Structure 1
Amino acid sequence: MTKLILSTSNIMSSGPSILRRPTSQKSNVELVNSLRGNFRASKQAVTLARDGKHTSQQDGDITNNEIPYETWTVKENDSLYIPSIDFESSGLVEERGQYDITVKLFFLPGTSASQRCQHAKEAIDVVLKELNMPSIDLLIVSFPGVTLDSSMDCHDPVSGDVPSGEGEDLNAMTKTWKALEWLQEEGLARRIGVAEFGKDRLQNFLHRTKIRPAVDQISLKDNCTVPKPLLELAKQENIALLEHMDCTNILPSGTIRELLGPGPNGAGVLAGPSGQSDGIKGDIAPQWVIKYTAVVENRGVIENRGYFAMAELRQ
């Protein structure tokens, strides 16, 4: 089995972004577009080094598909980094105290609680290496299938509550949460939080944890307000409620195969159906996605923002 580690690099590298300016892209669109752009840039860098000329973005998709994936990726033990990363040259510019670093870890469907404990440590480790920082300020975890459903009505007219999507059971979540508690105890994450927990789920979850979530990140649609029972519980337990625009299933298996497969829109890392075309053969299973944002606090500027994703290739 090979672990495929996909990275977007710093998607703010084209210029600084003022924090108050909201992004217009959903997280899944931003992730896929940024991955594809980083793959293209890495291939073009190989072309430039080899041929001494730069290809245009339009021509690059045609020319660079002929470049073997081995030339712009790197294998380290059981992990293949797509594209290769020079951690020695990456990292934030200022001292640690100048930044507010927020990370959101998306566990994808099909992974067990025991696997996620290891995944959490791996995902945080690669972000810390990328930023060259000893810790992050906030780690939010998103469990697969857990949604605060506001697609029908904003809230119940009597209770004001919003039903939470079923997702997985609390036992699996609690087991996974212990890994996040360990990260906080080790000083790698100063605060930890959850996403899309409604009042009932959050209340039941609190009784099972040693370190309580500092944050509950929720999605509000169509100008809905925070459900009153959830708002009251959050105030009572001193839990901050934050809003987000992320997708729960941020990277389906079909999307990652399209990204890495052959063809004009693929990176040429994976072989095509039935093993046709060059590339690695096997079944692919996405495991996690992690999004990170580093803000220079005194200037309100996003210096570094990006994603990593991990998928297992079972040959």
Structure 2
Amino acid sequence: MKLAHEFIKLPLHFDVSKMQEELAKFSPQAWRGHHEGFPGNSAIPLISVNGQLNNDFKGEMLATDALKQSEYLQQVIASFNEVFGRSRLMKLDAGAKVPLHSDINYHWYKRVRIHIPIITDPKVIFHCGDKSVHMAEGECWIFDTWKNHQVDNDSTEDRIHLVIDTAGSSAFWQLISQSFVPWLNKAEGASKLLQYQADFSPSILMEKHNAPVVMGPGELEFMIGELKQEVSKTPTNNSNVATQLFTVLEGFSQDWRRLWSLHGENKAGWDLYHQCRDNIFHQAKQSASQLKISNGASALDMLAHCIIVPSFNP
């Protein structure tokens, strides 16, 4: 998700010793390798589709067995009173790094990743855009996942964070507006500690509806507008090529609204949605591949992962 600042520190902190105690219960075999094969990166799913060991984004989110056995981690997640999507413990081995990348997809376009360090070291540095921070144990941070970011673990200790995804309610974003940005001339306020409560397993709100089968025309129009804005504010782009792309996408929005008016999400229209989407992608991909967005990625990436793929996803 795009944020006003690269890093924002929330006025919350958590019981490090209790989190580490629960972490120690997991065997080395519980850690699953990174789905893109990043060396030294692994995770334990806590909230996932159907509570299973997967990397999926679409479907009902449920607690995994790992979360069910971790009482304080449940309390930490529930304390936000937000609806959570895919969430996990994420480990970065000593000497390893999360390579430079940006998160260009439908899921993270509207969701923020909350990071709560459980085990770390001052030599673990998180970079985003032109800013860098160390996230200390027990703290709570969010960052701009749209910008290029990477993590370097130059310590001799594995780093482990609790990482939880949410779109956030108005109360959450009001809290963010009052949170701390390290490089602004504003004093950091007091933070609130979440105490462990023995024998208490709270209810956690988890996503049931997170990706449409057929994207509504209003959302499609919004996402196309976001892509147009990204292309328009990148000064190196060729304006004629950008106009070609925008014209094709305007037609896509109009044709999609027509189909929606006839079929909604009804299966009778699925073949037509599929044809419309594929035809537009064929028309748009050449011009999109010649354009960039604000984080330096190809406009084709945003078109494919934020618009084309999620527009029809049965």
Shorter chain as denominator, the TM-score bin is under 0.3
TM-score (norm 2): 0.23
Structure ranking higher on relative contact order (CA contacts 8 Å, 6+ apart): 1
| TM, length-normalised to structure 1 | 0.23
